[in-house]
């Protein structure tokens, strides 16, 4: 997917400048004038700025009509920030997303620590930017992965669920395809992602401050926040698992792309991620067919090779007016019906 090319190019630059990598491709490193100088963490920040979108991501933001909020603070969702430093609580729905990135430990056997830092940070930054474009709130960074909220007081649950599915499907495509192809060239064991998503309804999600003083965050206490994390563990490599509340808050055409996890595993006990038999509560987890889901999005098209691309809006240049076409059409009178009007 072309919108991630800047991230891929940054990783390529870091790898090609890595000391271990260079020693493998040249036995005369000291005399090789073509070898690049080291690619530093500062170079990463120039290549992939923290607080702005690159042109390709701006195109995506324009296409879906959202602007990323770069003023976020970890552990401080803006709709509930006023709870910080208080003993107050509020009930409000939220969609919780856990994105776990696996396999990066293997990079240390191939590259210098700073190169590994650059690769991991670039992948994580790609995930953050993708979530921000779709209106997500980055709640917490967890190793190479992240925990994100979608929704709030002024967004409908159905819209929040859709945005969570859109952003995670796009990021999974990037990891499974673009990133995989890059690392295969380097003979690296695959890096993959696992994602869990669940929606807690208003009555089931309590917002409050957790921690003490400045060692604190505004977070949620909810079964469904916990289940999102647990579902991530149920996902296959580059898979997305979601809860029944997410499924019930999506359109029917998308629900057809959600199958109980037990269908994949062949183990009926995997159908439910959580049970309270005494209350007859059995909560189903589903695998999302994220690729076909992604192909159904209005901002996505698939080319003849099957590659997923961003659909660009048809922009009519400002000079394309009837008056501007008249001199050309005048030379072919049938199109003007011989009229001077």
- Please tell me the distance from the alpha carbon of residue 75 to that of residue 150, in angstroms, as a whole number: 13
pLDDT in the model for residue 318: 45
pLDDT tops 90 at residue 140: yes
Comparing 30 with 300, which gets the higher pLDDT? 300
Helix H, strand E, coil C: the string for 22-33 is HHHHCCCHHHCC
pLDDT in the model for residue 323: 55
- Please tell me the distance from the alpha carbon of residue 15 to that of residue 202, in angstroms, as a whole number: 47
CA distances from 57 to 39, 52, 108, 128, 309 (A): 23, 9, 30, 12, 12
pLDDT in the model for residue 36: 52
Pick the CATH number of 2-316 from 3.20.20.150, 3.90.550.10, 3.10.20.310, 3.30.70.1230: 3.30.70.1230
The mean per-residue pLDDT over the stretch 80-85 comes to: 96
Domain residue extents for the chain: 2-316
* Residue corresponding to tokens 């997410």: 246
Quick one: what percent of the chain has pLDDT higher than 70?
Answer: 87
pLDDT tops 60 at residue 331: no
pLDDT in the model for residue 269: 94
The tens digit of pLDDT for each residue in 18-50 reads: 888 777 655 434 434 444 567 898 999 999 998
Which residues have a Cβ under 8 Å from the Cβ of 305 and sit 6 or more positions away?
Answer: none
285 close to 245: Cβ distance less than 8 angstroms: no
Region class of 218: left (phi > 0), else alpha (psi between -120 and 50), else beta: beta
Angle at 196 between CA 146 and CA 108, to 5 degrees: 45
The sign of the torsion formed by the CA atoms of 327, 332, 333, 336 equals negative
Comparing 305 with 260, which gets the higher pLDDT? 260
Mean pLDDT, rounded, of the chain:
87
Q: How far apart are the first and last CA of the chain?
A: 48
Q: Which of 162, 160, 159, 133 shows the shortest CA–CA distance to 65?
A: 133
- Please tell me the distance from the alpha carbon of residue 15 to that of residue 22, in angstroms, as a whole number: 9
pLDDT in the model for residue 326: 55
Query: pLDDT band for position 138 (50/70/90)?
Result: very high
Query: pLDDT band for position 281 (50/70/90)?
Result: very high
- Please tell me the distance from the alpha carbon of residue 264 to that of residue 271, in angstroms, as a whole number: 10
The tens digit of pLDDT for each residue in 178-233 reads: 998 888 877 776 789 999 999 999 999 999 999 999 899 999 999 999 999 999 99
């Amino acid at each position: 997917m072309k919108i991630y090319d800047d991230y891929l190019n940054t990783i390529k630059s870091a790898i090609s400048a890595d000391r271990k990598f260079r020693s493998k491709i040249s036995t005369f490193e000291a005399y090789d004038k073509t070898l690049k100088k080291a690619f530093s963490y500062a170079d990463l920040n120039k290549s992939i700025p923290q607080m702005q979108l690159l042109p390709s991501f701006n195109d995506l933001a324009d296409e879906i009509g959202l602007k990323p909020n770069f003023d976020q603070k970890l552990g401080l969702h803006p709709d509930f920030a006023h709870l910080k430093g208080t003993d107050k609580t509020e009930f409000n729905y939220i969609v919780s997303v856990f994105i776990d990135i696996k396999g990066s430990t293997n990079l240390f056997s191939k590259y210098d620590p700073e190169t590994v830092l650059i690769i991991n940070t670039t992948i994580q930054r790609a995930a953050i930017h993708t979530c921000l474009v779709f209106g997500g709130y980055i709640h917490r960074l967890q190793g190479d992965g992240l925990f994100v909220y979608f929704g709030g007081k002024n967004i409908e649950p159905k819209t929040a669920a859709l945005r969570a599915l859109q952003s995670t499907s796009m990021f999974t495509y990037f990891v499974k395809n673009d990133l995989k192809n890059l690392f295969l060239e380097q003979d690296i064991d695959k890096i993959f992602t696992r994602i869990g998503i669940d929606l807690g309804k208003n009555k089931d999600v309590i917002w409050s401050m957790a921690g003490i003083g400045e060692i604190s965050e505004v977070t949620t206490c909810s079964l469904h926040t916990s289940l999102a994390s647990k579902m991530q563990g149920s996902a296959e490599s580059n898979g997305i698992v979601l809860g029944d509340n997410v499924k019930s808050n999506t359109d029917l055409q998308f629900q057809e792309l959600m199958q109980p996890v037990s269908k994949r595993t062949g183990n009926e006990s995997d159908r439910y991620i959580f049970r309270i038999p005494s209350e007859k509560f059995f909560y189903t987890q589903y695998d999302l067919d994220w690729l076909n889901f992604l192909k159904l999005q209005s901002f996505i098209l698939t080319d003849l090779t099957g590659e997923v691309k961003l659909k660009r809006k048809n922009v009519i240049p400002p000079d394309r007016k009837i008056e501007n076409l008249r001199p050309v059409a005048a030379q072919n009178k049938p199109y003007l019906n011989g009229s001077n009007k």
